[in-house]
Amino acid sequence: TGLITWDASLYLAEWALENSEVFRNRILELGSGIGLTGIAICKACHPREYIFSDHHETVLQQLSENLRLNGLTLEDESSSHRQEERPNHQGHLEVDLEDDHVRISVKELDWNLVSKDELAKLQVDVILAADV
């Protein structure tokens, strides 16, 4: 279900663009799917940090590709962009991308199982969930 664009993500993206002041600091999106909402927020609102998350490996792979296709990363580490890949505690890949404006993370996170303590460790200012 994470490989399609849900109407809720379109509406949330539209609301975010109309209320960009809400999205200036650290944002966590639960159930990012293919990333439409977050991509729109990163491009238009320029938060300090945006954490995309989903649980399914195929969805995370497509999400990472969609970020690249939308210009949120460069392959050349010598530019002002940086990409770091590392395995997380469950053996899944986490990707961090950083450009001049937004630090972007893609994390494997099951929003059905995540605890308050795990969320608190991320130290985010806003938690988004378009269609969970």
Give the pLDDT score at 76.
28
Ordered by where they begin, the domains of the chain are 7-76+101-129 (3.40.50.150)
Give the pLDDT score at 35.
94
- Across the 132 residues of the chain, what is the mean pLDDT of every consecutive 10-residue run? 74 95 96 94 94 93 93 45 46 48 88 90 92 68
CB atoms within 10 A of CB 84: 11
Give the pLDDT score at 90.
46
Helical H segments across 19-122, by residue range:
36-45, 57-69, 116-121
Give the pLDDT score at 74.
29
Give the pLDDT score at 1.
56
Give the pLDDT score at 20.
95
Give the pLDDT score at 29.
95
Give the pLDDT score at 2.
63
Give the pLDDT score at 72.
87
Give the pLDDT score at 73.
63
Q: Amino acid identity of 39?
A: I
Residue 5, both tokens: 């664009």
Give the pLDDT score at 120.
92
